[in-house]
Chain A
Amino acid sequence: MTAAHSTDDTARATGHGGPNAVTRDGSAGPRPGEDAVVGQAGGRRRKGGRGGGGGKGERSMVPPAEFTSYYGRPIVKASPWERDIPAYLFMGGVAAGSSLLAAGADLTDRPALRRTGRMGSIVGLTLSMVALVHDLGRPERFHHMLRVAKPTSPMSVGTWILTAYGPFAGLAAVAEGRELLPAGLREGLVGRLLGRSARPAGIVAALTAPAVASYTAVLLADTATPTWHAAHRHLPFVFVGSASAASGGLGMIGAPVGEAGPARRLAVGGALLELAVGRRMERAMGITAEPLHTGHAGALMRASTALTVLGSLGTATVARRSRAAAVVSGAALMAGSACLRFGVFEAGQASARDPRYTVVPQRERLARGQAERHAGGGQPAGPPAENPR
């Protein structure tokens, strides 16, 4: 104990005399200011018993009606991700759905749909990889993702899902180019191996593809970004619906009307899933659904709904008869999916930038008496804090 401390009875009485863990640099023991009691010294004592203020008439620097903040500044940080990430959400979804269509088309003898699917998956996958690496703060260290496999990190899980999916989708797509090889090479060992492995590779890719489409919802939801996290129960269904609609749309663009039946059904089914679960999601989100309706994100979401509805109507009607109508409908569905991904992304970013979406849901939880408490946890160390609200 330092001399200063042992002579200070006030310090003892306030109970701050416990041994300090740090001794080596001689810092043991409290320093003088530590035991000051605010509102006791320096300045006159208040005459009445009105000490402490309390809730009434309490105002902060920013006094909006429903919540308090620190100069209106954000509490959580918006992700540093740029357009690469929503673009990846879209292209990864297209790749995943295309692999499913390609495998189905391969098994049911629809060569044009198969070719479209395999090409869609490899192009989508390649662009996805470029976007993901480009978005890193240190792109040259992208392979550090492969150091660990962590189930608690959706990005790590996604890395391994893509690692499982990518080579098979790639192999199936490369085999599609076998026809272009010179005859000698095509009939050689490599060519024959390619031809034989295309179908099994495509099937493995199709089995892993749904995970590619759905994990990205967890990637967004497993954050403190209010709008993303609040969507966590529904977003995976919205995203697989969106991926199905977009890849079905691509199939309608690339394959003739006669072969594109499964693509049309996948597109309409996906669009319906996306629209239905999306509405339910917004109702369940409370105040954190607001950013999905306002500003830039709101415009994207409205565009997405319009394009998806129109694309689905076109798909269900004229696209069965006219290739031109199929191309237009397919393009509308793809654009609708892209708008959805950018809209959800932007809405999350906006929700992180406004402290309202962090504070209000937590305050509502506290007001309902449903503060986050873990069963069997310890009691607060001090007396319960006064809560004027």
Chain B
Amino acid sequence: MSGNSFSGPLDPAPDAGWTDAPKRKGFFTDTSVCIGCKACEVACKEWNAVPEDGLLMLGSSYDNSGSLGASTWRHVKFIEQPKPLGAQEAGLEGTAAGPAMTDVLNRTADSALSGDRSLLGTTTAQVEVRPAPVDLGMPGAALPGTADGAQRTEFRWLMESDVCKHCTHAACLDVCPTGSLFRTEFGTVVVQDDICNGCGYCVPACPFGVIDRRIGEKGVTKNEGIAQKCTLCYDRIGDGLEPACAKACPTKSIQFGDVDELRERAARRVETLQAAGVHDARLYGEDTSDGIGGLGAFFLLLDEPEVYGLPPDPVVTTRDLPQMWRKAGLAALTMLAGAVAVFGARG
């Protein structure tokens, strides 16, 4: 334990008591080269034997896995925006478009779904009250020019492969009451399946909504009822291999390595993109002075974090825990004093 054990810059493995720990390992996910192929999702499921997470059409671009969860350890997000990508132009702006397919697709998807979508963090009811989709002038089923004056817009498609951040200050690990979640020698955070009793405390503690309790059939679904998330392929990296998702990534959007080296690489990459006119390129989670102490798995994004469903200024909840314990102690003393007082009074 050091002075920064609750917040601030820290090398987590030695802080957790590892001696001669190897260099901290992590991911740098460069979303600017992600092509949305989902090979990472598939490779992760294959290697880690992660069960099915629902076969649903969510009507949100090509994202049909919804969010990270107990059975979704890599999650590729798709964001469609009516703006250009860097200095690129499609050359189609202002030309005639057919009727948008987005509405048709969403209606079809919604009506096809009568089942419970809450596992994915979205329900049919929520989808129905969602604001109308933006018409991006995407190709439709009818001939261009047949819609009333619809024109093609600028268009960019952002993709991001999301994953557990393996926080420097990991709230899930801090609040785990069984010691099931632990800090590995690589500085990552891993669940011990045979220890977790499914109390579920890590689930609301995570500032990124990564970890979840696996829902399934008792005695049938693997690890049903216990908390599950990315292990940064603890079994693979212990053998000198790279995690399955990084191995499968065809564009090296997912890069695995020593966190300090990845940070340098990311800094150079964002400079390159800025110089090339991609002014909205930015790093997310690489700053060791942020509310998490820096992420073990950090990102290069092309828009604000919340556009990708990431919190813009996350903080580990346990940073405030010393203050919470003081307040709770004071409250307990207040109650004790009150009880003494009510018996002392006349009446």
Contacts and interface: CB of A to CB of B under 8 A. Distances in A.
Q: Are A and B genuine complex partners?
A: yes
A184 interface: no
A33 B34 CA distance: 9
A358 B206 CA distance: 12
A150 B268 CA distance: 41
Interface in A126-162: 135-139, 141-142, 144-145, 147-148, 150-156, 159
Nearest to A363: B312
Contacts of B61: 61
Interface stretch (B40-48, B49-57, B141-149, B332-340): B332-340
Contact of A233 (B32, B264, B309, B323): B323
Nearest to A225: B204
Contact of B87 (A51, A240, A385): A51
A240 B204 contact: no
A34 B252 contact: yes
B222 interface: no
A107 interface: yes
A110 B15 CA distance: 54
Nearest to A33: B251
B86 A31 contact: no
Among B82, B178, B199, residue most surrounded by chain A Cβ atoms (within 10 Å):
B199
Interface stretch (A38-46, A170-178, A299-307, A333-341): A38-46
A100 B337 CA distance: 10
Contacts of B126: 72
Nearest to B8: A374
B89 A46 contact: yes
Contacts, number: 475
B76 interface: no
A207 interface: yes
Contacts of A50: 84
B9 A218 contact: no
A64 interface: yes
B313 A21 contact: no
A156 B174 CA distance: 10
A374 B7 CA distance: 7
Contacts of B82: 59
B86 A52 contact: yes
Interface string A12-54: 0011101011111101001111111111101111100011111
Q: How large is the interface on B (under 10, 10 to 19, 20 to 34, 35 or more residues)?
A: 35 or more
A60 B79 contact: yes
A96 B239 CA distance: 52
A92 to B, nearest CB: 13
A322 interface: no
**Interface SS majority for chain A:** loop
A269 interface: yes
A214 B335 contact: yes
Interface in B51-88: 58, 60-61, 63, 66-67, 69, 77, 79-88
Nearest to B58: A71
B276 interface: yes
A75 interface: yes
A377 B325 CA distance: 26
Contacts of B318: 152, 222
A111 to B, nearest CB: 15
A182 interface: no
Contacts of A164: none
Contacts of A79: 200-201, 203-204
Interface string A60-90: 1111100111111111111111000000000
A70 B309 contact: yes
A369 to B, nearest CB: 11
A206 interface: yes
Contacts of B329: 214
Lowest 9 CB-CB distances: which A-B pairs, in order?
Answer: A39-B86, A137-B198, A377-B289, A385-B282, A33-B251, A70-B309, A137-B225, A372-B291, A34-B252
Given A24-B239, A232-B324, A375-B8, 15 more contacts: A22-B240, A34-B30, A67-B306, A104-B339, A104-B342, A136-B197, A145-B177, A152-B321, A214-B331, A236-B330, A261-B345, A261-B347, A359-B312, A381-B286, A385-B283
